[in-house]
Structure 1
């Protein structure tokens, strides 16, 4: 009689899960999305994942040429923002010298008045044309026109400085006057449609008190 240890069991043995499963047509393995990019039914990436992928693609420049190109693109983007701000009046991207209520009031004060200083460039061109005409009478006329214009500009600048300081002192008693006269005169020298930031008021307009 054979020992019980060596007896053959009549109970069938479970071979366990098969290691050669057929591919799931849904693109899932064990309930998880397949790593195959062509698989169907994979979850759509979230916004956070998409932004992380975009940041990963924005790698730093690997060469001097790429770095120079990136710096040029950044500089152009900043210049575009400044140019647009000068047209729209948005002080967020304006140069520092154009920001603040005092500079805003100064621009409106200059733009709201007629100024002989604005005519300096056209009159100078006319005077040069007359002086180079070769005619003695026209040369004398050109000299007279230029001299008269310069005298009017000096008087206009003095009057502008007096009135501007008085208004700024009344509206902004705690603000300094440093650089304000030069800022106003340099703006008044420009022809009004060419001024930047763009004028907001017309000639003769009454300025409000809400500049704070």
Structure 2
């Protein structure tokens, strides 16, 4: 197949065994040298690092489908412009874990009550945040599909600020 028809003329047709052997040899030949493989691996690694940095900066081309678009950017900025009890939930759980190791029942019960109280407040805050986000999106982007927008914002609000990805573009209290 790789040879042109002019190269095939003037010689006998190869036997099936010879044709198969020629295909096997060409397919098993090393495709590249170690240096080429190392260069390709380094280039791939550099591309991954650059793509990750672009994703963390919030570059639109590097974002996955769930984070793309002006509506999602608006929701991220809306959530990042405010403090939420949900972002403190993980540190509170850590403190609760430490207090449950204290051998006094008052500490153990009190810490568990605090944990469930913060969880309840976080869910209530998420419900109201979701409604606020949907109404703000409708004002800014009329006719936009709202499915999943509230949950997207609430889940982002439950992450600790420095652990969010893409990284927050605005500071707390800043207008966007």
When normalised by structure 2's length, the TM-score is: 0.73
Correspondence for 1:198: 167
Correspondence for 1:36: none
Q: 1:184 to 1:74 in 2, by over 3 A?
A: farther
Q: 1:74 to 1:127 in 2, by over 3 A?
A: same
What secondary structure is seen at the aligned counterpart in 1 of 2:60?
coil
Correspondence for 1:179: 148
What secondary structure is seen at the aligned counterpart in 2 of 1:113?
coil
- Check whether the contact 1:82–1:95 (CA below 8 A) recurs between aligned residues: no
**Count of residue pairs brought into register by the alignment:** 147
RMSD: 2.4
Correspondence 1:95 to 2:95: no
Correspondence for 2:113: 144
Unaligned runs of 5+ in 1: 1-60, 208-212
After superposition, what is the alpha-carbon deviation per residue over 1:138-164, rounded to whole angstroms, capped at 9, x for unaligned? 101111111211111111101110100
| 1:71-82 matched pairs, under 5 angstroms | 73=42, 75-82=44-51
Task: Kindly indicate which of the two structures has a greater share of residues assigned to helix.
Answer: 2
Q: 1:179 to 1:76 in 2, by over 3 A?
A: farther
Could you tell which deviates more after superposition, 117-126 or 93-102? 93-102
Q: Name segments (4+ residues, structure 1) moved above 4 Å.
A: 65-75
1:119 equivalent among 84, 88, 94? 88
What secondary structure is seen at the aligned counterpart in 2 of 1:92?
helix
